[in-house]
Amino acid sequence: MVALRLEDVSATYGRRTILSGISTGLLRGGRLTAVIGPNAAGKSTLFKRIAGLAKGAGLVHLSDTAEGPQTICYMPQDTGANAVLTVYESVLLSAKQGSGWKVKEEELAEIDRVLAALKIDDLAFRGLGELSGGQRQLVSIAQALVRKPEVLLMDEPTSALDLFRQIEVLGFMKHLSATSGMAVLIALHDLNHALRYCDDTIVINGGSVAASGPTQEVITADMLKSVYRVDARVETCSLGRPMVIVDGSLSAA
Ligand SMILES: Nc1ncnc2c1ncn2[C@@H]1O[C@H](COP(=O)(O)OP(=O)(O)OP(=O)(O)O)[C@@H](O)[C@H]1O
């Protein structure tokens, strides 16, 4: 199964250093890893650096992988709407990236499966330009999944989704990574989603790793205070699940 490890990774835009000294343990296939941290901490930049879309020193180690074009897939936070294509065409185009243009039956069947799994099969022949923000986000997820990457980097994939869709998508990703062996890294702002769905969590703050490890060990009141500047508690709800309860911001206290 694929495993990803970062060794002293940095990232720069021009002369500006955004990330430095980012090292991780083995991020294994079959697991979901949350990447959390405040706005502008460097989460998207980290994903771009891993995907080879940003420059910087250090090493991105990938083991037990075929290292083809489908190895790493980055699903960006903002996906523009190409009004010319239908949903189906855009997903097919993504599936064919890096391979020939001959379309096989099983590729079409896979697109049907992914659209159905994300419950957007009814949108297949609608133009991208006429979709809502949440619908477009689901299409972006479909475009990433049909490529069947070994490492999937999802940048805030649920930010435009309603509550029902958020838990559907995250539950589906957890199931998919466990069954397919894909390593999934998800940038998230909702820390309760990280606690519920993600095995491990990496906290980025000011371009460095502030904490990393099993999610429940990482998301603590102390971390929330030092990284997010909020007074918060992590308590067990009536169903036995840990939950973040925010009492206020430190600057307002
Ligand atoms: N193309 C770019 N050129 C120069 N600076 C950039 C570029 N993209 C991002 N930055 C800067 O890099 C820093 C990190 O941005 P990044 O998008 O990685 O943060 P983030 O943690 O994903 O933030 P958010 O939670 O707000 O999405 C920010 O200060 C941002 O202004």
| ipTM, 2 dp | 0.98
CATH number of the domain at 37, please: 3.40.50.300
Instruction: From the CA of 41, give the closest atom in ligand 1.
Output: 21
Q: Give the closest residue (by CA) to ligand 1 atom 2.
A: 13
Q: What is the pLDDT of residue 81?
A: 64
Q: What average pLDDT does this structure show over 176-190? A: 95
Q: What is the pLDDT of residue 57?
A: 96
The token duo for 106 is 């099983």
C-alpha of residue 226 to centroid of ligand 1, in Å:
20
pLDDT digits (tens, 9 = 90+) for 83-130: 789 999 999 988 888 777 777 888 899 999 999 999 999 999 999 999
State which H helix or E strand residue 212 sits in: strand 208-214
- With a 6 A CB cut-off, is 44 part of the ligand 1 pocket? yes
Dist. CA 36–CA 41, nearest whole Å: 9
What range does the domain containing 129 cover?
79-146
Q: What is the pLDDT of residue 122?
A: 96
Q: Is residue 224, in this structure, part of any structural domain at all?
A: no
pLDDT digits (tens, 9 = 90+) for 6-45: 999 999 999 999 999 999 999 999 999 999 999 999 999 9
C-alpha of residue 45 to centroid of ligand 1, in Å:
6
C-alpha of residue 43 to centroid of ligand 1, in Å:
8
pLDDT digits (tens, 9 = 90+) for 209-244: 999 999 999 999 999 999 999 999 999 999 999 999
C-alpha of residue 49 to centroid of ligand 1, in Å:
12
Q: Is residue 127, in this structure, part of any structural domain at all?
A: yes
CA–CA distance from 189 to each of 37, 40, 50 (Å)? Answer: 7, 12, 20
- With a 6 A CB cut-off, is 18 part of the ligand 1 pocket? yes
- Answer yes or no: do 59 and 46 share one domain: yes
Domain final residue, candidates 102, 128, 146: 146
Q: Is the dihedral of CA 81, 166, 71, 43 positive or negative?
A: positive
pTM (2 d.p.): 0.93
- Answer yes or no: do 4 and 129 share one domain: no
Q: Are 172 and 144 in contact (CB under 8 A)?
A: no
The number of folded domains in the chain is: 2
State which H helix or E strand residue 134 sits in: helix 133-145
- Answer yes or no: do 154 and 210 share one domain: yes
Plot region of 37 (φ>0 → left; ψ -120 to 50 → alpha; else → beta): left
Q: Is residue 238, in this structure, part of any structural domain at all?
A: no
